Structure 1
Amino acid sequence: MAYYYDGKDWRLLEGATDQYSIDLAIQPFVGNKDFKIWVPNNFDNKFRGRITLRQGLEASRNLASISLVTRVGPTLVADVAHRAGIKRGLEAVPSIGLGTSLVVPLEMASSFSTFANGGIHAEPFGVLKVTDNKGRVLEEAVPEEMENFSPQLSYVLVNMMKGVVQRGTGAYASRLRRPIAGKTGTSQDSKDMWFIGMTPDLTATAWMGYDDMRSLTMKDWTGGGTVVPWWTEIMETVLKDQPVRDFPVPDGIVFVTVDQETGKLALPTCKKRILEAFVKGTEPKEFCDVAH
């Protein structure tokens, strides 16, 4: 079984439910256990200033992830990843937010499925059942299920990842014309490119790279621009006969129209507004106070 660097897909697993704005200040971080100085950057080496976590997730902005990891702590991120379905030990350092740990594609699909399944993790298996020549069932898989996250937290994460397809780096997948949530990933030096996408019924991981960790020759390739298109082509066939339905909204979720810039309740004068999902009781109470 091969392990690969997962690019930026850990952003799903950072507990990114607090959609407050964050200040993307440039600062060095201790990036690994050898205490080497690591200075994170965005893929395009540009900075957008103050953005919300949703905007950071949708546009795959590295510094948004790093800022969140430093707030909640890398140990918590590693614990969430484990509860979601990642079995391999992860190094609990700030760079975990950019996918610097080796993972298995199957486990990435399994962990994303946990949130699509309302926080219930089911161990993946390869054989549904075994029958004899008379059709009698000799053995049948019964997946072990554990509710590791609340349905409300899980829905907020899925709702944020729907934005990756609606407006962000996974936009190519929107041509399937059905609700899809997902996350793209491009590892450092273009050694790996990813897209993990999911519908309410199916999660699929697409990975591109070499087993020997060589960099891909085309430096301008990315998970969103290169992997998402062929993930989409495959899923067009897989989902052809599947009914179109949206992710179910659990009790305890409220939708509020907020200003994208501030994350506060939107006013009629706010130019960029979005209908945002919140766990009931965590929605913003203050109105936007920025002159647009």
Structure 2
Amino acid sequence: MLEVKHLAKNFGSIRAVKDVSFSVEPGTIMGFIGPNGSGKTTVFRMILDFLSPEKGGKVLWDKQPMNKKVYELVGYLPEERGLYDKMTIEDQIVYFATLRGMKRQNVLLEIDEWMKKFAVKGNRKDKINTLSKGNQQKVQLIATLIHRPKLVILDEPFSGLDPVNADLLKQGIIELKENGSSIIFSSHNMSNVSEICDKLAMIVNGEQVLYGTIQDVRENFGRIKIFLETDCWTVEDLEQLEGVQTVMKTSPNNYTLILEDESYGRDLFQKITKGQYISMFSQQPPSLEEIFKMKAGEAIHG
């Protein structure tokens, strides 16, 4: 299990990271979210010992400080992609895998299987500089994951991937989870976080503002949204109901209501349905994307 405790980092007078703490258990995926420049990559670099945290900050693996042996169990995909253009796919993957303790012969036996898994176009003897940007990215993902790391850190792994290739990556991440890896990835795409993460942490301006399971984080904001499908009401009538803050008409018979408080939901159900059948009345917490915008907006506007 990865444990991050009270990480902080200063660059001169700039406080880049302020008291960030979380854990990632074996067989779980954590989404690490926040606006650009919020400190996510700095936290990753402290976990990997590329940067030293301020006094009091700790990074533990299975209750012990990180060390060289543990780092051989880590798969890291940086935001700044880096491959050797003149190398072949095979040589590139072998190079990174052997750095992580794999035997060359074992790597050679697995390359074709991994290329098929990530649908890399070309063959193992093709040079990196002949590949498309998307295929280069997939080769780097293979190099990150082929040694089946116990701790996986992916910095914006979905950046630049089309929906088909993003799904291939999700499948690869889920497979690692099923095999017991602890996985953490940063992303600006909240649908990716919602789909495959067990929990999330959010930092804004270096400060941790959210942490918990996906459902707990959403529920903490209250079930303040109602999705409604009915042909018996108008926007104007719905806006007059007590507890309704705003109403959006999303299609001819579909509405989204934002409530002042989730407690109004029960009475609104009675008033809107009038004891009759309607196609849909669903009371939900805000989406992760809405929460992201809300917390990021608070930081911008103070």
TM range (shorter): under 0.3
Q: Which has the higher strand share?
A: 2
Q: Which structure: greater helix fraction?
A: 2
TM-score by length of 1: 0.24
